[in-house]
Structure formats: structure tokens, C-alpha cells
Structure 1
Amino acid sequence: MSQSTSSKPLALITGASTGIGATYADRLAKRGYDLILVARDGVKLEQLAAKLSSENRVKARAFTADLTNATSLASLEQLILDTPQISLLVNNAGTILPGGFKNSAVDAIDGLIRLNVTSLARLSRVALDGLKTHANGAIINIASVLALAPEISDPVYTASKAFVLTFTQSLQIELADSGVYFQVVLPAATRTDIWAKGGKKIEDIPGVMEVEELVDAALVGFDNKETVTIPPLQDENKWLALDNARKALTPEFLQSHAAPRYR
């Protein structure tokens, strides 16, 4: 991609053809961002890019890529390296398994990890050096409340979202002096097509949030520079108490001897 002469900020969004990603694209376009929209469905991407460009007077480009494919992922990484104007990366692409662990094929498990974990980590690293050059460089990672609730969903999806949560928290600590802001968003059930892909009926899911409300809330957290944003959580003090309890454990881990109960 040739370097743009636009003075607008530039955001790259993965999983941008539908749902949360498409809604982020709409909201960021309304904020004046030029866009690079990434997903597997090139037709939907082109339609969305044309619509957002026309409605918001921004430049929106579609880039078709399958992030579970090494060659396709490498092409996106090269695009990022060639486009230092990118100031915001939204790692939204993700998938679920239609069945639990025991009913899932090994290749399906591997594909989920490639998409939910590997591509997110790789793209974050590839984009990092360019993001550091911007006064407002940022990465938004979309996780899930299931990162905090292993009792609810299948082990692979839940663990992948726990990775995204911990990964983002650790990035914020390690790179606190980099000037880059890292946010992780933990949606609960949201009305997107991911449920149909997983063989589940949205009507059977309690407490479904509309995708527009989810993204608008997440962007409030973004504006407030939250590291962890949990839109459905009504009492923020419960998250703060959990996080503080976790932090209080750290000194307890730094011991030279096993606890008495193990002797």
C-alpha cells in the first residue's frame, strides 16, 4: 500500500466484515478515521468500505485475508510494515467451535488458536514499532467475559480469550513508557453472527447485548484510557476487587519453599 497523504488517523480492523468489527469501522469512520478493513469475505468488505467512504468522507480500503493461513497472515503483516500511518489496530477477528473440546476436530482447535491467539499476537508485534511513532498509537484487543468464567464455555475458546486478556494487561505493563495505549474489551453475549457459526441459537442465550451498544460502550472505555473494559459489568467495584485480590497474590508466589500443606 502506498503511503497516504491524508491527514486523518488510520485504523486497521480485523474481522471487519460483520458484527463487532463492522460496527467499530462505522464508529471510527464517524470519528474521522481512514480505515483498512480486513476479513475473509472480500465482497462484504468492499461493500462496507464503499458505504463508509461515501457516508463519512474517509478513505476505507478492503484487504481480504484469512488470518489462519500463514501466507495470508504474512501478506497482512507486510501491509502493516509498509503502512506506518496506522495509529490504531483493532484485533477483533475471532471464532468459536461448534462443539465442546471432546467433539471438536484437532484441525478446528488449531484453527481457532491460530485466529484468536497467534494472529492477534503477531499483528500486535508487527504493528508496535509503527504505533510508537504516533502520539495516540493504540491497540484494542477484543476478548470476552469468558476469560473470567471458565465454567461457561468450551475450554479452547475460553482459554484463547484468557490469553487475550492477560496478553493485553502484560503489554500495558511492559510497554508503559512506549506511548502506546493498550485496551482489552470483554463483551458478554453480543448479537452477531458468531452464534450461528457455532451452531447456537441466539434466542437461547440470556442477556444478549446489541452490537452497537457494546462498541459504543467500549469506545467510552477507550476514551477514558481503561486497560480493561467490561461493558456488561454494572458494578465496576467487583472487577476492581477481583483485580486487587489477584495482585495481592503476587508476593505470595515469590517463595523459596513449598507451602506447609505440600510437605
Structure 2
Amino acid sequence: MGHLGIAVVTGASSGIGSAFATRLASRGYDLLLVARRGDRLRALAERLQADAGVDVTTLVADLTRADDLADVEARIAEIPVSFLVNNAGVGALGPTSIVPPDAQEALIRVNVIALTRLSLAAIARFRSLGGGTLVNIASIMALMPSSGGGAYSGSKAYVLNFTRSLRLELEGAGIGVHAVLPGPVRTEFFSSQGLSDSVFPDQAYITPEALVDAALAGVALGEEVITPTLASPDPWRDVEAMRRAYLREAMSGEIAPRYRDG
């Protein structure tokens, strides 16, 4: 086992997850890679073992299934995990009122329930081992209600608030907690749902490798919320300042005149 411990990456068989696995292996982490597609996982594991000389274990799991999710949780509890990337995600894109309820429930099972349970499993392990790093992949959609992705947008808002709340709770515990908010990334995310990448302008896209390099740089900087394509931190600071102002006013204890007098 590498001296850095084991990094766990979900949704590791392609795209952002594969890029995280590649970069973490190059840094010397042994890996536990989790995804549904066993053939792709095995091919990635073989490549990383050959290229980086690290130990790579694969676990085929469908995180919509409670039994599979429990298997991943159990594995995290058994091994010296020092880094978890909750990357697995479901889109269920389309008009929210007509996307099948089962598809939206599957999204919630992966984007919300699995992410929550695996975060908690990792934090328990980090505490027992004296530290670790949790990276949860949210999205700029966390701040953008969408008529074509209501459940997805809502799930990523959950990821953002859940991750930030964990960070507040774990301050000073030697555990890094970070939310990453990508914009459009060149992956199979849209094509896997029968959509075209043209839903966003071509120039808005970045590669998975660029995203991961920026995310890991943000982790190294200790940033709580990492938006790789945000050129200046000022807009985020403005959002936070307005959020605090909103909360101050909302805690006034007084009903607003427009509601009281209407």
C-alpha cells in the first residue's frame, strides 16, 4: 500500500472519475475504483497499475441499489481510506414535470443518498485514522434552477449545502471537505441521455483533466467551494455577502409589509 493511503473514486469508469483516478494514482495513491461498468473499470485499473505502479482495486456497484451502496460503505470501513471523491452522478435531464418519477428517484438515490452515506462512511474512517480529504462533485447548477433539470439542480444544491455544513462541523478536525462546482465538461454526461453537447456553447466546455487539475489545486489551497472556471473569486464573495445580508434581514422577526398589508 502507498504511504498516502487509499483514494476512493465513484463513477470512476469514464470522464471526470477516470481523470481523478489517473491524477491521484500519479500522486502515489492506491485506489479503490467504483462504477457500474466492470469492463471499463478493469481496463482503467490495468492501465493505472502499469503506468503509476500503484495498487488498484475495483468494485462494480450500482449506487441506486441499497445492497451495492452498502457494499461500498463496508469496504470504506475496512480499508485505510485517506481520500474520497464522490463523483458518481445521474442527470435525468428533461422537463421536470414529465421525466419519469422512477428516473428522478434514481437520481436522488445516487446524487443525494449515496453521496451522503459514502461521505459519512469516509468521515468516520478519517476520524479513526487521523485525517483525510473529502471531495464532493456538485455543479454550477447548484445555483441555477432549471426547467430542464429540476431534480439534477436540486440534488446539486443539496450537495453544496451538505458539504459546506460538514465542513463547518469538522473545522479543526484535520479533515479536508471540499465542494467542486464544474460548469460544462466534455464527458459522456449528455450523450448518455440522448442529448447533444450543443445545449451549452462550445467554448463553455473544459476537459475532465483540466477540471480535475483545477479541483486538486483548489483542495491544496484549502478552498471550501471550488469553481474551476471562475476567473476571480470576487463573484463568489459577492454571492456570500448577499446570502449573509438576506439571512440577517430574514431573521428580523417581523412580517414584511407587502405580506401584512396586502
Return the TM-score normalized by structure 1. 0.93
Q: Which residue matches 1:99?
A: 94
In the alignment, structure 1 residue 117 sits paired with structure 2 residue 106: no
Q: CA deviation at 1:153?
A: 4.1
Q: Distance in 1 between matches of 2:182 and 2:188?
A: 15
Q: Could you list the per-position Cα deviations for residues 68-126 of structure 1 after superposition, in whole angstroms to 9, with x for gaps in the alignment?
A: 0011111111111111x101110000011142212211110100000111100011111
CA contact (8 A) 1:49 1:61 kept: yes
What residue identity is the alignment partner of 1:127? Answer: A
What residue identity is the alignment partner of 1:104? Answer: V
Q: 1:143 to 1:152 in 2, by over 3 A?
A: farther
Q: Distance in 1 between matches of 2:123 and 2:29?
A: 19
In the alignment, structure 1 residue 192 sits paired with structure 2 residue 169: no
Q: CA deviation at 1:13?
A: 0.4
Q: Could you list the per-position Cα deviations for residues 215-245 of structure 1 after superposition, in whole angstroms to 9, with x for gaps in the alignment?
A: 1111110110100000111222011111121
The runs of 5 or more residues in structure 1 that have no matched partner are none
Return the TM-score normalized by structure 2. 0.94
Q: 1:70 to 1:151 in 2, by over 3 A?
A: closer
Q: Which residue matches 2:205?
A: 208
Q: CA deviation at 1:204?
A: 4.5
CA contact (8 A) 1:13 1:92 kept: yes
In the alignment, structure 1 residue 87 sits paired with structure 2 residue 53: no
Q: Distance in 1 between matches of 2:235 and 2:4?
A: 38
What residue identity is the alignment partner of 1:211? Answer: P
Q: Could you list the per-position Cα deviations for residues 37-96 of structure 1 after superposition, in whole angstroms to 9, with x for gaps in the alignment?
A: 00000111111011101100111111110000011111111111111x101110000011
Q: Which residue matches 1:64?
A: 60
What residue identity is the alignment partner of 1:166? Answer: N
CA contact (8 A) 1:97 1:157 kept: yes
Q: Distance in 2 between matches of 1:197 and 1:77?
A: 27
In the alignment, structure 1 residue 242 sits paired with structure 2 residue 251: no
Q: Distance in 1 between matches of 2:161 and 2:182?
A: 15
4+ residue segments displaced more than 6 Å: none
Q: Distance in 1 between matches of 2:19 and 2:197?
A: 19
Identical amino acids, percent of aligned pairs = 41
In the alignment, structure 1 residue 228 sits paired with structure 2 residue 205: no
Q: Which residue matches 1:48?
A: 44
The runs of 5 or more residues in structure 2 that have no matched partner are none
What residue identity is the alignment partner of 1:147? Answer: A
Equivalent pairs, count: 258
What residue identity is the alignment partner of 2:247? Answer: T
Q: Could you list the per-position Cα deviations for residues 121-164 of structure 1 after superposition, in whole angstroms to 9, with x for gaps in the alignment?
A: 01111111111244541100001101111147411101011111
Q: Distance in 2 between matches of 1:78 and 1:191?
A: 32
CA contact (8 A) 1:146 1:153 kept: no
Across the aligned residues of Structure 1 and Structure 2, the Cα RMSD in angstroms comes to: 1.5
Within the candidate set 26, 30, 33, 1:30 is matched to: 26
